[in-house]
Chains A and B, each alone.
Chain A
Amino acid sequence: MSALVEVEGLVKTFGSGEAATRVLRGLSLTLQGGELTALLGPSGSGKSTLLTILGTLMKPTAGSHSMLGTDLVAADDRALTLFRNLHIGFVFQFHNLLPDFTALENVAFPTAVREGRETAAARTRGRELLARMGLAERIDFPTANLSGGQKQRVAVARALMNRPELVLADEPTGNLDRAAAMQVMALISEINRDEGTTFLISTHDEKIASLCRRQVVVGDGVVTG
C-alpha cells in the first residue's frame, strides 16, 4: 500500500539574511491512509508550519511533498486550490468559520464553492454531517451564536464535507475546555474509525495526543519521535 502523504527533507526558512529563521530543517514524514496521528512538540517547534505545507497553503523552501501520488511542490495555485478542495480538510484553532453564515452554509461551503451554487444535495450532506456532530438543532444558527465547542464541531463537519482523504487539524481543542475538547476528539476518532479518513492533529496536550493511535514529535525542525 503506497503512502497517502510523503514529505522528505522538508526545509522552511522565514525571512532572509541575518533575520532568517530556519523552522523546518530537513523534516521527513509519511502518513498512511486511515491513520489518526497526533503531532506533538513545544510551542514554536514548527507544527503549524508543517501543517500549512501539508495543506498546500504554503510551499517549502526545499524538500519534496506529494500526496495521492501528486507532486505538490511543482503544482501552481489553481491546481493546488482544486486539490485542496477535493482532498484536504482543515480545522484551525481560531478564525474557523465564516461569521455571517449559518452552520449549514459553512459546512456546505467547500462543495458549493466548487459547484458554483449551493445544491440541495450539498445541503442534505451538510445536514447529515451536522447531525452526526450532534448539532442537528443548530443547523440554521448563525455561527456567531454558537459556543466554542459547537464551532469546532461545525468546523470538523465542514472539513469532512467533500470526503477528503486527509484532515489537518491545528490545535483544534486549544481553545476548548476539557469536556468540549474530549467531545471533539471522540467525534474525530469515530469518523476516522468509520470512514477511514486520515487525521493529523497538532497539539501540545499529552492527554489529547494519547487519544491518537500514532504520535509524531517535532523538535528542532525535524521529527524526533
Chain B
Amino acid sequence: MLYGLKIALRYLTASKAQTALLVLGVAVGVFIFIFMSALIGGLAEFILSRTVGDISHVTIKAEDADPPILISPDGHVLAVVEQGRARTATLADAATWVPLIETVPGVTAVSPQITGAGFLTRGAQVAQVGVTGLEPGRESAILDLDGYMVEGTARLGSGLIVLGQTLADDLSLRLGQTLRLQSSGGVSTVLTLSGIYRTGNGMMDRSSIFVSLPTARTLFALPQGVTRIEIKLADLNAADATALRIRALTGLDAVPWTDGAEQLMEALNAQAQTGYFLKSFALITIVIGVASALLLSTYRRRPEIGIMRAMGAGRSFVVFVFVTQGALVGLLGGLSGAALGYLALLPFPTRDAFRPGTLPMDITQGSYGLAITLTVLGAILASILPARAAARVDPVTAISQ
C-alpha cells in the first residue's frame, strides 16, 4: 500500500506544527520511559553493588555437626564431646573442590577461608575479634580489601595481620607494631600489623581481622581443609542457579546470597514494580495523546474522507491511511525520544563510577528498543479506533457538510 503511505505522509507534513507537537509529546513519553528504566535499573544495580557487591554470592559452609553424643540402649547419655578444642567442622577436601568450582560458568573468584573467633591483645588492652584466614594472593577476591586500605597493604603473609581502622584507633596501633592474637581454642601467636582498612561498615571496621590461611591453620588447629568457601559470580542474579550447579557438582551445601536476603529482594521488587507502574503511565499517556490527535484529525478531514470514498477508496484504505499516520508518529516520537533519552543519560557516571549523592542512572539499562517497539505498537493501537471511525464516515453527509 505504497499509495496509502503517500497519503499518510502528506497528511502528516500538511500540518507540520501539529505533527511536530504530537511527535514531541510522544517523544517526552518515551523519554520518561527510558529515564525511568535507566534510573530503576541503575538504582537496583547500585543498591545491589552496595549491599551485595562485597559479599560472597554463593557460600559453602562446613556444617556444624551436633556434638557427638554416645547414648546407651536404655537412653542414658554416656558421653558428650565437649565443644572447645575439637570444635570446628571442616570442608576437608577444599583443595579438590576449589579448582572444580572455578570451572563452573559464571564463577569469577573462589576464596577458601578459615573463620573463627579470637582475642587481640596489645599491652593491657583486649578486643574480641572475628578472625578470617584468607589465602595469600586472594585477599581481595570477595571483599575488595585492597580497595579499602588506608595504610599498609592488604597482602597477607605468615605472621602478618590486617585490621580495621576503628580497631586500630581503639588499641592505638600503628603499622609495624606487634600484637598477640589468641584463638577461641586457646592457641596464641604474635603478629605484625601490616595493613589498616576502612570499609565504612562500623561493625566490620571494629571487629574483623584478617590473617593468612596458614596462620589461621595454626590458630584453629586445622592442618587441612577450610571452614568456608566464598564464591563470587559475574552476575548477581545467577546466584540461585549457580548454587544449584555447584551443589550438584560437589554435593556441598552451596547457599546463594538470596537466601536470607528476602527483604532486600522485596525492596528491589517493589522498586521495579514502581518502575513498571510509571512506565505504563508513560505508555498510556502516549496512547491517549496519539488517539486524541488522530481522532481530531479524522474529524477535520471528514469531507476529504468522503471524497476519497466517492472516488473509489475502500474502507480498508482509509483505515490504512490513518493507522499508518499513527505508526509513523509512534516511530518518529519513539526514535527521537530514545535519542533524547540517550543524550540526557550520557553525562551521568557509568555504573562502575556511581558516586553517592548523584542519581545512579545506568545508560545501558535504558530499554531503548523496548521503548521504541512499545511506542510504535501503542501508537498503532491508539490509531485503530479513530481510523475505523474514519472508515465508517458516510460520504454523503461528509461531502454535503
Contact = CB atoms under 8 A, between A and B. Distances in A.
Contact of B395 (A57, A82, A94): A57
B311 A116 contact: no
Interface string A91-127: 0101111111100000001101111111000000000
Given A81-B312, A90-B311, A109-B308, A117 B2 contact: yes
Interface in B363-401: 395-396, 398-401
Interface in A69-97: 77-78, 81-82, 84-86, 90, 92, 94-97
A136 to B, nearest CB: 23
A113 B306 contact: no
Secondary structure class of chain B's binding surface, majority of residues: helix
B322 to A, nearest CB: 14
A100 B10 contact: yes
B122 interface: no
A55 interface: yes
A189 interface: no
Contacts of A116: 1-4
Given A52-B396, A92-B399, A95-B399, A110 B6 contact: no
B249 interface: no
A158 B311 contact: yes
Nearest to A159: B311
Interface residues of B, number: 27
B14 A100 contact: yes
Contacts of B337: none
Interface in B304-328: 304, 306-315, 317
Q: Which 3 A-B pairs rank lowest in CB-CB distance, beginning with the nearest? A: A85-B312, A100-B14, A95-B303
Given A113-B311, A116-B4, A162-B312, 17 more contacts: A48-B400, A52-B396, A82-B314, A85-B311, A85-B312, A92-B307, A94-B303, A95-B307, A97-B307, A99-B304, A101-B10, A110-B311, A113-B313, A114-B312, A115-B3, A116-B3, A118-B3
6 contacts: A57-B310, A84-B310, A94-B303, A110-B311, A113-B308, A113-B313
Interface of A: 48, 52, 55, 57-58, 77-78, 81-82, 84-86, 90, 92, 94-101, 109-110, 112-118, 158, 162
Interface of B: 1-4, 6, 10-11, 14, 303-304, 306-315, 317, 395-396, 398-401
